[in-house]
Amino acid sequence: MPSSIIAGVGHYVPSNVVTNKDLTKLMDTTDEWIIERTGIRERRYAHRTEETTTTMGIEASKIAIKNAGLKNEDIDFIIFATLSPDYYFPGCGVLLQRALKMQEIGALDVRNQCSGFIYAMSIADQFIKTGMYKNILVVGSEKHSFGLDFTTRGRNISVIFGDGAGAVVVQATEEKGRGILSTHLHSDGESAELLAMYNPGTHANHWTDVKYADFNNAELADMFMSHAMIDKAQNFPFMDGQAVFKKAVVKFPEVIMEALGKNKLKKEDINLLITHQANLRISQFVQKTLGLSDDKVYNNIDRYGNTTAASIPIALSEAFQSGKIIEGDIVCMAAFGSGFTWGSLIMKW
């Protein structure tokens, strides 16, 4: 059975740097307040009209494919993870396939938010191991800036998120002892509404207990995007930060230890841990819980903010390019986010 290796990595972030000081002009906040609570000093925002989730994914993909020593036509499957697609449908995968003039290969879109890249990698790993595909392009890309509430009302969320993309080429190899060792995926929808964007949506009963039979068609249409909903900021993301934090600091170490246990490895065997860049405080808590030194954990949230599905591949690309990952290293990746969903991946580079 072939194994799955990462043959190429790449990332792209917009040139527009938005500092905490820049945000103080839009909302009642301070640089100190943001750094203390999130560890973020700046983030990148895509150009409003010229850059999209797909175009950023394309740029990251070009680098990953080149670094893998391949051409676009060598890719035989695409997996695109994002919570911010260009269109409600179709997904970004086919738009990337079109732009890169690839063959008529399959394109799968993954909507698992912060855990999207780990889920996408797990899917790619299964396809590689079964021999169905040889070179899979996995992309994580997000353009959050178009849909945030840049007022004091929305500051707890809006200061956190940034835009960017990362991509990897997952390739089959017969070389023993290398590649993805295992992936571990979990979900718990009991608290789905604690980190969610309720609208646009197609089911009003997700957020209210009204009965459709009580309303006529005009009233029903208004329910899905009414002025009242806009007044309540239901067209923007919602997050109960404290609840998410409490869950994340439990599930992150748990799913990392699950991966280590599955492969009879110890915490000390990890050469580099890359967690989803949700909040520096969460990452530091996980690092302390696992007893890992600074040189074994990679964080870049201070420069990019939370880029959800893009955060792990961006960090992975940076870490590899800076020489922090070499052949033979045990690399662990883990994510936790909306759903709730969480997961981990462990590999021998």
Per-residue pLDDT in tens (0 to 9) along the chain, 349 residues: 899 999 999 999 999 999 999 999 999 999 999 999 999 999 999 998 999 999 999 999 999 999 999 999 999 999 999 999 999 899 999 999 999 999 999 999 999 999 999 999 999 999 999 999 999 999 999 999 998 889 999 888 999 999 999 999 999 999 888 999 999 999 998 888 887 776 665 444 444 444 445 555 555 455 555 556 556 555 667 777 787 888 889 999 999 999 999 999 999 999 999 999 999 999 999 999 999 999 999 999 999 999 999 999 999 999 999 999 999 999 999 999 988 999 999 999 9
Expressed as residue numbers, the domain containing 266 is 179-192+239-348
State how far the Cα of 268 lies from the Cα of 285, in Å rounded to an integer: 17
- Active-site residue 276, yes or no? yes
Whether residue 124 sits in one domain with residue 56: yes
Note whether 342 and 205 are same-domain residues.
no
Same domain, 168 and 183: no
Domain shared by 262 and 246, yes or no:
yes
Strand partners of residue 98: none
Do both 154 and 206 map to the same domain?
no
Choose the catalytic residue: 92, 276, 279, 332: 276
Q: Is 306 an annotated catalytic residue?
A: yes
- Which residue has 């033979």 as its token pair? 328
Q: Please confirm, yes or no, whether 114 is among the known catalytic residues.
A: yes
| Plot region of 333 (φ>0 → left; ψ -120 to 50 → alpha; else → beta) | beta
Mark whether 86 and 27 lie in a shared domain. Answer: yes
Q: Do 34 and 119 belong to one domain?
A: yes
Contact 38, 301 (CB under 8 A): yes
Looking at 20, 67, 112, 306, which residue is catalytic?
306
What does the H/E/C string look like for 60-106?
HHHHHHHHCCCCHHHCCEEEEECCCCCCCCCCHHHHHHHHCCCCCCE
- 265, exposed or middle or buried, with CB in 10 Å at 0-12, 13-18, 19+? middle
Our count of domains for the chain comes to 3
- Count the neighbouring beta carbons within 10 Å of the beta carbon of residue 251: 21
Residues 32 and 141 in one domain: yes
The rounded distance, in Å, linking the Cα atoms of 232 and 223 is 13
**Same domain assignment for residues 220 and 270:** no
Based on the fold, state whether residues 50 and 165 are members of the same structural domain.
Answer: yes
CATH number at residue 109: 3.40.47.10
Q: Are residues 119 and 257 in the same domain?
A: no
Same domain, 146 and 205: no
**Which of 20, 114, 144, 279 is an active site residue?**
114
Give 130's contacts (C-beta < 8 A, 6+ positions apart).
Answer: none
For tokens 């909903």, the residue is 229
For the chain, the residue count is 349
